[in-house]
Amino acid sequence: MKYLITGGAGFIGSALSRLLAENPENRVVVLDKLTYAGSMGSLRSLKGKSNFRFVCGDIRDRSLVSSLLADEEITTIIHLAAESHVDRSIDSPALVMDTNVMGTLVLLEAALAHWRSFSTAARGNFRFHHVSTDEVFGDLGPADPCFTEQSPYAPSSPYAASKAAADHLVRAWHRTYGLPVVLTNCSNNHGPFQFPEKLIPLTILNALQGVSIPIYGTGGNVRDWLHVEDHARALALVARSGRIGASYNIGGEAECSNLTLVESICDTLDRKKPDPSGRSYRNLITFVTDRPGHDRRYGLDISNIRTELGWTPTYTLNAGIENTIDWYLQNSWWWQPIRDERYGGERLGLEQTRPGTAKDHPSLSAKATILPEMQM
């Protein structure tokens, strides 16, 4: 199969790219703008592979996307490119909407034209796989059953709203134009190569550097946790075998409160990398002002993908946390430059910047500069 992976230098996208490129019969083309969260280091293991190509560019560039689809004869698009951090969406909602909504629209238009260029027989082999989030469903009460694929949408944050809008666009292009699509909604991911603004790597790195570990509110908010390698396996399976027009929830069946999770990470680090002072890393936990609109609980019912496609998560939460901590302990070459140069762990999402307008975000008022193609 010939894949175009948007956002393939990001956390989930790079895990998927590494997985797909293991099969020499696959052709894997990554399109990534290399914004703050994209890293060529996450694709380092693919350097020199004849079945892999990296292109640095913007999903909103219709000409670039169309030429890649045609030149590479792409048969499967897996769309992961997005501004994905809730706190950043609170600070800069217009930028998030532009990337996540308008970027998806550009991809859909280019994909539709590309699909229509195929012969009737070849059209059946094409897929547009849109990767979304459990946050589109809003939040759950403590005793509520988990979200299913039929749960109504009730997004709380600008990020969740942007992903909900993109989901609806993908379904509309299927219903109106017949574009062959599949959708997935995943729970919170963890694992190697995750940008340090997210809770688990932020906790690990703050602990290692002896600075405070922030917990929003009381830490009682609950998330379901999915290891990124399990997620990548599920994405590849859905892209290959999912029913056209169907949606699949992908979760780890591992719900945990933020406070319990952070305490578990601290306890694991106490064993693996004890603080020189002899104190527990739990002493670094600091409760801070809660995030605006913070959802209480997410949980996904994954019976559909388990029954229909035979997928199930292989990592327990404890095993996944051990794996993730071990990776960060052993791979400072990847995260240290990010902490030093791009994101030092500062708090985001307190509306300290004015909600975005075209004036605030030059990318909305003029075409973004596209970097030249980069080959590996």
pLDDT per residue as tens digits for the range 18-39 = 999 999 999 999 999 998 788 9
pLDDT digits (tens, 9 = 90+) for 49-103: 999 999 999 999 999 999 999 999 999 999 999 887 676 778 788 888 999 999 9
Residue 175 located in a structural domain: yes
32, 83, 91, 135: the catalytic one is 135
> CA 20 to CA 375: how far, in whole Å?
18
pLDDT, averaged across the chain: 91
Closest C-alpha to 58, from 29, 94, 33: 33
Q: How far is CA 49 from CA 76, 77, 121, 294, 333, in A?
A: 19, 20, 31, 43, 22
Check whether 369 has a pLDDT greater than 50.
no
61, 87, 91, 134: the catalytic one is 134
pLDDT digits (tens, 9 = 90+) for 161-196: 999 999 999 999 999 999 999 999 999 999 999 988
Q: Tokens 């079945």 appear where? A: 51
Residue 24, CA atoms < 13 Å, CB-side half-sphere: 3
Residue 225 located in a structural domain: yes
Sign of the torsion formed by the C-alpha atoms of 185, 191, 197 and 203: positive
> CA 35 to CA 90: how far, in whole Å?
18
Residue 268 located in a structural domain: yes
CATH classification at residue 241: 3.40.50.720
DSSP string, 152-163: PP---SHHHHHH
Q: Which two tokens stand for residue 208?
A: 């290692």
Report which secondary-structure segment, H or E, holds 179.
Answer: none
Q: Which two tokens stand for residue 27?
A: 């052709």
Residue 373 located in a structural domain: no
> CA 49 to CA 71: how far, in whole Å?
19
Overall domain count for the chain: 1
Residue 371 located in a structural domain: no
pLDDT of amino acid 352: 53
Q: How far is CA 297 from CA 32, 141, 281, in A?
A: 31, 7, 26
pLDDT of amino acid 290: 87
Residue 376 located in a structural domain: no
pLDDT of amino acid 330: 98
Q: Catalytic residue at 135?
A: yes
DSSP string, 273-340: S--TT---GGGGEEEEPPPTT--SB--B--HHHHHHH-------HHHHHHHHHHHHHH-HHHHHHHHH
Burial of residue 143 (number of CB atoms within 10 Å: 0-12, 13-18, 19+): exposed
Domain coverage including residue 253? 2-365
Residue 92 located in a structural domain: yes
pLDDT digits (tens, 9 = 90+) for 133-171: 999 999 999 999 999 999 999 999 889 999 999 999 999
pLDDT of amino acid 292: 84
Q: 335 φ, ψ to 5°?
A: -90, -25
pLDDT band at residue 372 using 50, 70 and 90 as cut-offs = very low
139, 149, 159, 248: the catalytic one is 159
Please indicate, yes or no, whether the overall pTM of this predicted structure exceeds 0.85. yes
Check whether 374 has a pLDDT greater than 80.
no
Residue 370 located in a structural domain: no
Residues in the chain: 376
Contacts of residue 286, Cβ cutoff 8 Å, sequence gap at least 6: 212, 213, 214, 215
Closest C-alpha to 309, from 229, 248, 362, 227: 248
Q: Catalytic residue at 159?
A: yes
